[in-house]
Amino acid sequence: MLTGLGSWLPTKVLDNHEIAARLDTSDEWIRTRTGIRERRVAGPGESTVDLAVAAGREALGGGSADAVVLATATPDQPCPASAPQVAARLGLGTAAAFDVNAVCSGFVYALATAAGFIAGGLAERVLVVGADTFTTLVDPNDRTTVPIFGDGAGAVLLRAGDADEPGAFGPFDLHSEGEHAELLWVEAGGARKRLSDTPADRFLAMQGTAVFRHACARMAESSRTVLERAGWMVGDVDRFVGHQANIRILQATAKQLGMPADAVVANIDRVGNTSAASIPLALADARADGTLAPGHRVLLSAFGAGLTWGSTVLRWPDLGQL
């Protein structure tokens, strides 16, 4: 059951005009193609763990957790995982802690993992954090990726409960398609190619048109599957919270599902694509501005590098004065 919610953004704001001043692009070009007008960028010495700790602390609300699942593609070090450091800094003692890397789908994958932990009796309360400093993977001179990505973290606290309670996540639908990994990847830095003399190999490479096509099709397909499993009709959904990759992807997916435009939750204009952090950040913003209200039926769906994608649903709970 969802019982806590937190978010955190770096203080540095990078708007479209700053990007246009040094790259061959414009504010209009960025806004019309992505829906983004500004994004947050981690400052010097500010890491994924730092952001995750801040969001996690807010979600915990002074409470505790038996386990931490950190969804991230940008850990502080290649080894070890960053989640144990998050748990330690949050004072969670010897709580189980590990990373999940499904990139932009990571938060949905982490939710499913946490739900399994609770269902299996391994934990009563699990902190799920989506955090990325994705700007560290972006070539600062690439006009196609610099405008898209931002940094941030969002977190939820899950507790054991009944499947029919408000705040219960599930069912889930998760998939991957590894034969298309090269559509969105960083080639160097892993075991296959640790080092590279080619600078581009160290940064994110994206085949945008193909990614757009796959994202719309897979998110719509997965959403239909999870709605069917939940026994919901598309018309039952009050809010659609998709991965905030591109406003046109969100709109196109909603259109494929036959969902009204006002059901789409979007904060991408203010934060950009924050990878695994995007859905919890969108949830936090929507709760804060009243877009999400207790009782709303909510559909979550994400698509990311891998390729990976997944969806789940919940009835929004009354979180009180968090």
Phi, psi of 18 (to 5 degrees): -65, -40
Strand partners, 97: 68
Q: CA 180 from chain center: how many Å?
A: 20
**What residues of the chain score a pLDDT lower than 50?**
322
- Residue 79 known to be catalytic: no
Query: Which one is catalytic: 214, 216, 243, 267?
Result: 243
281-290 pLDDT, tens per residue?
A: 999 999 999 9
- Residues 306 and 101: their CA atoms lie apart, in Å, by 9
- Residues 69 and 96: their CA atoms lie apart, in Å, by 8
Query: Which one is catalytic: 16, 246, 267, 273?
Result: 273
Query: Which one is catalytic: 16, 104, 214, 267?
Result: 104
Name the token pair of 201: 């190999």
Tell how strand 172-176 and strand 308-315 pair up.
antiparallel
- Residue 104 known to be catalytic: yes
DSSP class of residue 306?
T
Domains, the chain, ordered by start: 2-159 (3.40.47.10), 172-315 (3.40.47.10)
pLDDT of residue 6: 98
pTM over 0.85: yes
198: burial class by Cβ within 10 Å (0-12, 13-18, 19+)?
exposed
Q: Which residues contact 27 (CB under 8 A, 6 or more apart)?
A: 15, 16, 17, 20, 37
pLDDT of residue 201: 81
- Residue 246 known to be catalytic: no
- Residues 147 and 72: their CA atoms lie apart, in Å, by 20
